[in-house]
Chains A and B, each alone.
Chain A
Amino acid sequence: MQTSYPGRWLIVDLSSETIHREYIPPKTLEQFLGGRGIGAKLLWNLVSADTDPLGEDNAFIIAPGVLSGTSAPCSGRTTLLAKSPATGHYLKSNIGGQLGIALKLAGVDGIVFTGKAKRPVYLAITPDQWQLNPADDLWGQGVRTTTNLLKKRHGADAEVVCIGPAGERLVQFAAVMTSYYNAAARGGIGAVMGSKNLKALVIDPRFGKLEIADPDGFTRAVKKARDLLYSDSIAQDLHKFGTARDVDLLNELRILPSYNFQKSHITGEMRRISGRAWPELGYLKSIVGCGGCIYSCHRFTRIDAGKYAGTYSGGPEYETVASFGSGCGILDPEPVFVANALCNDLGLDTISTGGVIQWAMESIQRGALTREDVDGLDLSFGNGDAVIEMVKKIGYREGFGDLLADGVARAAEQIGRDSEKWAVHARGLEQSRVEIRGAYAYALAFAVNPRGPDHLHSECLAEFGGTKEGIALIKRLTGDEKYAIPNTEDKRAEIVRWHEDIYAVSDALGLCAFTTTAAYSLQEELIAELLKTATGITLTGSSLMQTGKRILTLERCFNLRDGLCPEKEDKLPWRIMHESQPDLPGGGEPITPERLKRMLSEYYRLHGWDNQGMPKKATLDALDLAFTLPQLSAAYSKCSNSKENTDYN
């Protein structure tokens, strides 16, 4: 039977500049599917507790989803994986654009890079052909120029994936970029590419062909999925106004992180930084979708007049607006667009870049840093030009930017003076710009996210009760729609558990998380039908969710093997755990360690983990993860005092 997913991988050893093809055994494919799932399994095998994230021994994995390259709605997403330079532990970072389709049509179900090239190289792929080429002329170039040069060389329809100057300089939050403006942003995945002297990949998918198991059945399942997604409450708005559409509404509701989380709303005329205003203000030039997308939530914006005239780029997204707009106290959208365009070209994560700059701004405000310390820039909240200058300094590691480029945790450690208290990170990853002190499922999900505190592991949007689909889901999960309110501890563990399973499934299949955890239209049974008709892999809805659980349990084991004890590491930024946010409706009490512990304990129980957050042996057995046990014994003796686990040692 033809399937959309035969498991054809490329193994590229950069040190010896050799490439060979390897086939993943069907059993492994069925257990871990594609994307984040198979990626996590391969990463587990390829690295160890001793692996240096920026060393030759780290692996860099590119894994499109099982359904990528097909017409399944919003299925073009790819997961990139490595050991994270930011946290030193597990990292997956998801990317859109045309990459997933290009790889799958070129007959590549995934790529593993190991070692380090002696000089800058890029990998060129056409169906059934691949080779490493010198990239000396590309090294030092921005993302736009690199992409244009490679398209000139390999054809306009070739897809380019690359890093910018930030990745080359090992900025700890450097992104990998594709289709010019799509980023795998988080955790420093771009620095991993840079550390391997791997500047880019270029993929020409034109003459490839992808067949599926049951075209008629697949067409029917796709139609069902599309109809549900089109009629979802968020569909029209997401398409018309993008992810930043509700920045003004969030401000009105007083849940918009502002001034480095010191406040949750920003005063003054701020509607202009909301995506809803950009069409009428003339900034929005085009609406763009990733390959395979039926929603098209990306923006393309340009500034036509004034001192920033001529700036154009994809985005900005919500997180970028909260990062460089309200977070930096900026009400003018234009500096936000400029900072966004710079990050896209330098190859920087906008969340972390904005996060470290906000930390520096608050350090100035509190006297922990002086203007001289920050290269003479006036880094007061609200100063757009200073933010723009600092973005460049970070990307090129110049002056004070060199310190910020190491991430907010290391910067705060170096500067001291209590600045860790407003370094809004946990385990070294800057938190995404979501105010979680009034949203407890979000808070719990952030605390247990293996890569650090952000929303891209289990986005629990339903807890806000903002759409009828979200409310219906909460009722299904908890038995009562009254739990569709965010500031209660009740039922949060149940809500997080469902979201993290479906999110892992989405990532493994290449589905955009918006189809399953924002639009709640695409649910277990229908996803199983898409999978079956595309690949012939038959899983029920619940066994599919079990696969999701297997993936994220393996991710937890990954960090355990590194010696992270959950009881200490399942945590949130200091500010979130110790300071209240009086702006918030209801007073915005901190997510105190005690409150978090209560939610964690229920969460651990639902997972079948012990009360220290260590997976029980029976749980690992049930998930076919017993292969992890030999490498976990040190962690169990270090972290667990539970009697249940004595048989591990």
Chain B
Amino acid sequence: MLACSLAKEGAFSLPLSRIRIIRHEEIAEFTPKVCVQCSDASCITACPVGALSRNADTGAINLDRDACMGCRQCVTACPYGGVQFDPIRNIPLICDLCGGAPACVEACQLPQAIRYVQYASKEA
């Protein structure tokens, strides 16, 4: 979360991270919520103004900030809870895989709980 917020926002902040972790520390159970890059992305379908699109190179969801009107349809549409929302700027926070070099993967090399694997498009 810290590596993510630094990479995307230039500062450390838990709510500005694209990752959420539901922590149940008493029994050491940690459930991460993050964009899993669905092949049929319900957030793209849900967006009424077409502000979300898939990046052809990385396969990640990209946000067109100018088009976005902050309706949060994408947040509710995501079945994985992978879309966060910044109420100050009124935009969703969706993982864009840092353009192909995700900061979170770099920070998680021992447990390898997050790995970056090649995107296979539907046509391929």
Contact = CB atoms under 8 A, between A and B. Distances in A.
A148 B25 CA distance: 10
A147 interface: yes
B12 interface: yes
5 contacts: A206-B15, A211-B11, A236-B110, A285-B28, A294-B110
B16 A209 contact: yes
Contact of A180 (B14, B22, B26, B107): B26
Nearest to B10: A215
A51 interface: no
A427 B1 CA distance: 43
A440 to B, nearest CB: 33
Interface string B1-43: 0110011001111111000001101111100000000000000
A300 B11 contact: no
Contacts of A207: 15
Given A219-B6, A296-B110, 16 more contacts: A69-B12, A104-B12, A105-B13, A148-B26, A205-B14, A206-B14, A209-B16, A212-B6, A212-B11, A215-B6, A219-B7, A222-B3, A226-B107, A230-B109, A236-B110, A286-B29
A534 B27 CA distance: 34
Nearest to B110: A239
Given A209-B11, A210-B13, A219-B6, A230 B110 contact: yes
A-B pairs with the 4 shortest C-beta distances? A300-B28, A286-B28, A71-B2, A210-B12
A294 B26 contact: no
Contacts of B13: 105, 208-210
A243 to B, nearest CB: 15
Contacts of B23: 156-157
B64 interface: no
Interface string A266-307: 000000000000000000011110001011100010000000
Interface in A82-123: 101, 104-105
Contacts of A209: 11-13, 16
Interface residues of A, dominant DSSP:
mixed
Contacts of B28: 285-286, 288, 300, 314
Contacts of B12: 4, 69-71, 104-105, 209-212
A406 to B, nearest CB: 31
A358 interface: no
Given A70-B12, A71-B6, A226-B106, A239 B29 contact: no
A235 B103 CA distance: 20
Contacts of B29: 286
A219 B7 CA distance: 8
Contacts of A210: 11-13
A574 interface: no
A178 to B, nearest CB: 10
A67 to B, nearest CB: 11
Interface string A195-230: 000000000011111111001001100110010001
Contacts of A148: 26
A236 B112 CA distance: 12
Contacts of B14: 105, 157, 205-206, 208
A147 B23 CA distance: 13
Contacts of B108: 294
A316 to B, nearest CB: 14
A144 interface: yes
A294 B26 CA distance: 21
Interface in B102-124: 103, 106-111
Contacts of B103: 219
Nearest to B3: A71
B10 A300 contact: no
Contacts of A230: 109-110
Contacts of B2: 69-71, 101, 292
A172 interface: no
A287 B15 CA distance: 25
A292 B26 CA distance: 19
Nearest to A147: B26
A431 interface: no
A312 interface: yes
A294 B11 contact: no
A223 B3 CA distance: 10
Interface in A144-199: 144, 147-148, 156-157, 179-181
Contacts of A2: 11
Nearest to B4: A71
Contact of A295 (B6, B25, B27, B110): B110
